[in-house]
Structure 1
Amino acid sequence: MFGILGGGKGHKIKGTVVLMTKNVLDFNEVVSTAGGGVLGIAGGIFGTANKVVGGIVDGATAIFSRNIALQLVSATKTDGLGNGKVGKQTFLENHLPSLPTLGDRQDAFNISFEWDESFGIPGAFYIKNFMQAEFFLVSLTLEDIPNHGTIHFVCNSWVYNAKNYKKDRIFFVNKTYVPSETPTPLVKYRKEELENLRGDGTGQRKVSDRIYDYDVYNDLGNPDKSADLARPVLGGSSAYPYPRRGRTGRKASKRDPKSEAPASDTYIPRDENFGHLKSSDFLTYGIKSLAQSVLPQFQSAFGLNAEFDKFDDVRGFFEGGIHLPTDVISNISPLPVIKEIFRTDGEQVLKFPPPHVIQVSKSAWMTDEEFGREMLAGVNPCLIQRLQEFPPKSKLDASVYGDQTSTITKENLEINLGGLTVEEALNGNKLFILDHHDAFLPYLRKINDLPTAKSYATRTILFLKDDGTLKPLAIELSLPHPRGDEFGAVSRVILPADQGAESTIWLLAKAYVVVNDSCYHQLMSHWLNTHATIEPFVIATNRHLSVLHPIYKLLSPHYRDTMNINGLARQSLINAGGIIEQSFLPGPFSVEMSSAVYKSWVFTDQALPADLIKRGMAIEDPSSPHGLRLVIDDYPYAVDGLEIWSAIQSWVKDYVSLYYATDDAIKKDTELQTWWKEAVEKGHGDLKDKPWWPKLNTPQNLIHICSIIIWTASALHAAVNFGQYPYGGYILNRPTLTRRLIPEPGTKEYDELSSNHQKAYLRTITGKYEAIVDLSVIEILSRHASDEVYLGQRDNPNWTDDTKALQAFQKFGNKLKEIENKILGRNNNSSLRNRVGPVKMPYTVLLPTSKEGLTFRGIPNSISI
């Protein structure tokens, strides 16, 4: 297990401690203490960055004065009470700034432990910080352990002054044990550490805490500031079910005791906020700066000039730029990410990078083929369905909403079916639907009462042509019945046209569809189905799976920074009056709408094969690769995604099989069983009684559960996130807002449909200020950080000492390299028209690797932005 004991008395075990000092790392500290708004924040950041080298030396000097102490804990010898023997307290020694294996801004120190064979082999260590400032502990490596060799401890944790902790901080060796195989001397320490992470469920969390607990989404509103900023509590009720978030324990607001009062900083367990001086910090705090300081400046600047008049005005965002008033430009943050996004210069110009969708052609986005292609290879490729009944029906409660059956007729479709009947096209798997009717119809009265929003619930039917592309046949635009919901919908069917007012109406109809899709994408496909649904698993894993547990080691890389970015989202993105509410159609009802969709969320349907089959986009076929056959062969998201899914599943299977050979081994793993029970019953407690939750009673079910979690946190999130700016940065292609309904004949606005289609389109979709809000944020969200860790990679090669696990992981990495080459090959195949499309934009978003920045490719391990 640990090797044969040996060695004489008086032997010294040499060690190397790697850490990063607070004055190098703590971005949050700079943000909270710098004055002068965004300008002051940035100045503080750059001041810190400029002092990084000196700061390390200063930190090292402080550490020399016996400020950090370690004690080894034996994994093989007990103290007489059955617990691992604890060694003598030992302080850090020499500073080693030139160690060649150090990562960026890491600092190394010597340490020597007295050892004899009565102590045995170390399996853990205690650490005490006697300094006032915290530091980030990266690792400890022990060498020359007699008859054993080297031992690695991978730590990656903030360590505060010892007085902050009720129990001393402990770290474990990089070995892997299911609970029943834990060396007896470590059992107590393993249990105690999990108890520390769970906390007692009371009190307001402090920044130094490492406690993981659950709460409902009761922190999005700000009722004390304004009644208009009150929001319903999401989670904990059948009316508004929702996944749980991390508990902060903040005080209730005065006007609504069920809601937490907002705070400038949202607590997350300390180790979930790495705080490195890295690009992702600039990205996430760039969002905060935008929300709080920069965008309000733009609102005042563009208040008197809120409209685009022609398409060239929109392209001016990327080509000539927009000239800004002096007072606005002086208040734009010098944060690198803000400066790069806005490309401000001495001429006071606001300039965004050109989105991929117009880098080759400025007008191809307007084509019907591109409109259909983006449902298969765009930013939201996981919603289109095969049409399996005609006319399409609604799942809304008929007793509340009346008959919501589609009014699209066979005659509407057959004029463009090339001689086929609707029945023949259905039977031939040729008809598809993008259905945004049921998600939007119940909210349309509220949405259309907003001062800046007017829209329809939409259904779009498309035809699969012989060349593999989709041709839109009809768009149904529906409004609530003026006499009441129970009377059904008032619907209008728009058909393709290429001349006169009808061609502009068709262009507008596509815009209403895309706005619905943009909102559904951001709120449901992206936020709900990845960010929000993964957070309960992050919490449950840290509460119940020890760092020694094999499944903790498997899953933890896929949780990196997720609670951090979700906490930021609740502060600046999805909060009342935040960026999403400002720039997306549903406004104050945005997140509430995602709660309605969560009612029908199914965990097992998040597996890509199950999702494709449920949507009718694939048919079960055991003789085909992945066990299914795609209905559209050239469906880039599905083709690339299935290969990634299979690679993940194979890796998880190889890994799990190393530790669980039988059903009984799964059932007897106490940590594993408690983890899954709590993830379901608390983390997703509003859906806990659903029959579709897998039982954790076989290795196969464990493999499936872990594969879904990893897929969701990595590839699914990548597919719906990193194409946001490449497609949506051109607001004409993916508007997020419509501000008026189709004009009525006889009005000036209707005449404009024929005389000036560009102006008619621009007066309907997202305005100038909202476009800037949208572009500013989605460019940040579409970027990769410099220290991102991608699928098939780990941030520390010593994450486990299990050679077989490392070999299986290497096999996974090699498979991903093969897949990357295959995707590149498919993108060069001109017969696959959906992979590039009229906009000449290859489908690259599921290529596993990426460089830093706005690359339109790369699958990070986790939801980190």
Structure 2
Amino acid sequence: MTTYEIKIKTGDRLGSGTNANIEIVLFDGSGKHTKPAKLDNLFRDDFERGHLDVFTIKDETDIPEVTEIKLRRDTAGRFSDWFVDQIEVLNKNTKITSIFPVLRWIRPKVDLFIGRHDTFLPQFDPRLQQRNAELQEKRTLYEYEERIPGLPVQIKNVPEDEEYSISRKWDIATKILRLRVEKGLDRIFGCGRWETFDDLTSVYTSYFERPKAVDDWKRDESFGWQRLNSVNPNLIYLCTEIPTKFGVTEDDIASFLEGLTISEAISEKRLFLIDLEILDGVTCFKEYVCPAPIALFFVNDKGQLMPVAIQLFQQKGPDNPVFLPSDPPYTWLFAKMWYNVADTSYHQSISHLGCTHLLMEGICIASNRCLSPSHPMFKLLAPHFLYHIAVNDHSLSSLIDAGGIFDTTMAIGHAGALELIIKGVRKWRMNVDGIYPELLKSKGVYCKDGSILPTFYQRDDMLTLYEAIHGYVTKYVNFYYDTSDKIIGDNEIQTFGQELTKSKSDGGCGILGVPFKNGRFTSAEQLTIVFTSIIFTSTVGHSAVNTAQYDTYGFPPNYPTRLDGAPPKNKSPLTEEDIVKCVVDRETTIEVMSLAVILSEKIKNALGDFEVNYTYDPAAVKIVEEFRKELKDIGQNINQRNEKLERKFEYLHPEEIPNSVSL
């Protein structure tokens, strides 16, 4: 008789544990197998949620190295559903252990065969019939729905597999309410308007951590730094000429260009623009106003990006002046604050919700519909989609539904946010916006030696991380697709490409710019572009627009989501009192601060430290380990750089980047 030790890890999902009867059969590669063995430890409740159970079985068939297992359960007991993470089988005679990543719900009275490492391209899967049946079932669970015309597709009904466990299940509105009640914020803050900026900053002594922006938010250096290293960094582009609609003149800004003319500053690549034309005519909530500004910036001799001109609306005219740093101090400050009303509207609608949360949800659905859990590319993507659908389902309605947080805090309200999301995602192209170096090149700010925008630390870190992810994906793709024939013959990866690119009206995701030529993937390079883009956007891209939210939004005057009254139409001197009375009231301040606290929370493991391990193939495991080592080196380099900086940039340290889209 041969003795086998079997370790079974039951999943930690809601309802994972089972009281059913479980049988297992062990196979070798030649068809030899053991008899069905019932797994049951006497006087113990086996297969509880999140538990590891160990069983010993004996069989007259000696299988030195187990290459496949067969699982079967019945419907006995009150709770018979069962989700298995992984199974290890040890032949105690040969001391050889085989690992079987199951990562599935075990269906009742159906034989489930799992191969060692469970990683096969479909054309090489020995259990193709089982694989196809499993995929067919997943296609019924993961269905697209265009809930709002113009928005990316979302899940029609959230599958049980995507739901949070009890400890993770919450929505933004509920959490804000809990935060307010637990801290007694409504009683402490009171109601009505703030009297002074000092009055507002007093709340940070006991009730909120002090955001980094509080101390220097009025300074032009801080405003310029915010354009590069805060939550909305990738709008800036190299100025090659002054737009005709922009009323700035040579005389206006001569004193801010350190002796250069506009032409000379352009030639030296020291002038930059941001044009938020996309906001022109956007719907606003009630009487609130959202500008559509154009701003000009200059890199001074210290390498700092400085604002030199702001026009709050698109068309120049006598009631739409160009505001300058030489204007009365509070008038200039007020112009910067109104600019940021526009920036916050773009950030939350397009940069955050539209181009990370919503766009990636459709791709997540496609991966589940088209790629078997045994497919190596599914295993590559799966850690980066963990809880994504659940996050969107539980939280987006709190933000963009009528009467939600956008209506209570943002100038544009939910209606304007939806308009902007639709405009933003319509312009998104995977081959530009999803490939970070190409995005930088399209804006004229691609640079690896610091000669252009030397204090653009977010660009530098994002570029380094993109290259690391690209290298990781390249190795992984090339390992499984060492010939183009394997790509061409992979029907699942071809179906995945079809669903990504097919229009929403035809039942696809409608993603533009996917390198899917003539209805097929034909090269490893094409796959590398797609999977790098997806992973980068779901991790680094989302962190770039999310992690710094409390430091940015946590002091509302620094990055106001809306202001009362109207933007200035002239350069008349203003006072602090004039501005403070336009800042959101105490009630809305609580809402904005609480939202910023919640959205900045890190609720997942760091990039590369996957919450669920999908990769067991030894060669692929080595690739993952190399990726982790590179991320560690990147983190050390960031630490060394930050030691030399007066104002550190830490938001994209690999240890701060979650594996998937979090709030």
CA shift, 1:89, in A, is 6.5
CA shift, 1:716, in A, is 1.1
CA shift, 1:526, in A, is 1.2
| 1:731 match | 556
| 2:642 match | 827
| 1:132 match | 78
Match of residue 617, structure 1, among 445, 449, 467: 445
CA shift, 1:410, in A, is 3.3
1:116 is aligned to 2:116:
no
Distance 1:731 1:95 in 2: 60
Match of residue 323, structure 2, among 491, 494, 501: 494
Aligned amino acid, residue 419 of structure 1:
G
| 2:289 match | 454
Match of residue 172, structure 2, among 283, 287, 299: 287
CA shift, 1:649, in A, is 0.9
CA displacement 1:803-840 (0-9 Å, x = unmatched):
2222222111111111111111111224xxxxx4xxx4
CA displacement 1:384-415 (0-9 Å, x = unmatched):
111122226xxxxxxxxxxxx32333333334
Describe how 1:233-252 pairs up with structure 2 within 5 A.
233-234=148-149, 240=150, 242-248=151-157
Shift in alpha-carbon separation, 1:812–1:153, aligned structure 2, 3 A: same
CA displacement 1:733-779 (0-9 Å, x = unmatched):
1111122114578xxxx98x54xx33322222333222211211221
| 1:153 match | 100
Shift in alpha-carbon separation, 1:814–1:97, aligned structure 2, 3 A: farther
1:511 is aligned to 2:337:
yes
CA displacement 1:52-96 (0-9 Å, x = unmatched):
xxxx9xx8xxx6xx6242344757467xxxxx9996362432588
Shift in alpha-carbon separation, 1:417–1:523, aligned structure 2, 3 A: same
Do the aligned residues in 2 keep the contact of 1:790 with 1:860 (CA within 8 Å)?
A: yes
Do the aligned residues in 1 keep the contact of 2:515 with 2:530 (CA within 8 Å)?
A: no
| 1:433 match | 273
Match of residue 412, structure 2, among 583, 586, 592: 586
Match of residue 51, structure 2, among 97, 103, 106: 106
Describe how 1:408-807 pairs up with structure 2 within 5 A.
408-436=248-276, 438-443=277-282, 446-447=283-284, 450-478=285-313, 491-497=320-326, 502-589=328-415, 590-605=417-432, 606-618=434-446, 631-681=452-502, 688=510, 690=512, 693-695=515-517, 696-742=521-567, 754=574, 757-785=575-603, 788-795=604-611, 799-807=614-622
The size of the alignment, in residue pairs, is 654
TM-score after normalising by structure 2: 0.89
Shift in alpha-carbon separation, 1:243–1:580, aligned structure 2, 3 A: same
Aligned amino acid, residue 565 of structure 2:
R
SS of 1:357's equivalent in the other structure is: coil
Aligned amino acid, residue 387 of structure 1:
C
Do the aligned residues in 2 keep the contact of 1:97 with 1:108 (CA within 8 Å)?
A: no
Do the aligned residues in 2 keep the contact of 1:573 with 1:579 (CA within 8 Å)?
A: yes
| 1:67 match | 20
Distance 1:365 1:97 in 2: 59
| 2:90 match | 143
| 1:270 match | 160
SS of 1:764's equivalent in the other structure is: coil
Do the aligned residues in 2 keep the contact of 1:302 with 1:768 (CA within 8 Å)?
A: no
CA shift, 1:848, in A, is 0.7
Match of residue 118, structure 2, among 171, 175, 181: 175
Aligned amino acid, residue 845 of structure 1:
Y
Shift in alpha-carbon separation, 1:662–1:686, aligned structure 2, 3 A: closer
Aligned amino acid, residue 649 of structure 2:
Y
1:365 is aligned to 2:255:
no
SS of 1:791's equivalent in the other structure is: coil
Aligned amino acid, residue 708 of structure 1:
S
| 1:382 match | 234
Aligned amino acid, residue 654 of structure 2:
P
Do the aligned residues in 2 keep the contact of 1:458 with 1:513 (CA within 8 Å)?
A: yes
Match of residue 191, structure 1, among 116, 132, 148: 132
SS of 1:823's equivalent in the other structure is: helix
CA shift, 1:426, in A, is 1.4
- Could you tell me which runs of 5 or more consecutive residues in structure 2 were left unpaired when the two chains were aligned: none
TM-score after normalising by structure 1: 0.69
Do the aligned residues in 1 keep the contact of 2:24 with 2:72 (CA within 8 Å)?
A: yes
Distance 1:375 1:599 in 2: 24
Provide the identity percentage: 25
CA shift, 1:315, in A, is 1.3
CA shift, 1:637, in A, is 0.8
SS of 2:581's equivalent in the other structure is: helix
- Could you tell me which runs of 5 or more consecutive residues in structure 1 were left unpaired when the two chains were aligned: 1-9, 27-55, 79-83, 200-210, 218-232, 235-239, 249-267, 321-350, 393-404, 482-487, 831-835, 850-857
Distance 1:375 1:132 in 2: 58
CA shift, 1:16, in A, is 1.7
CA shift, 1:686, in A, is 8.1
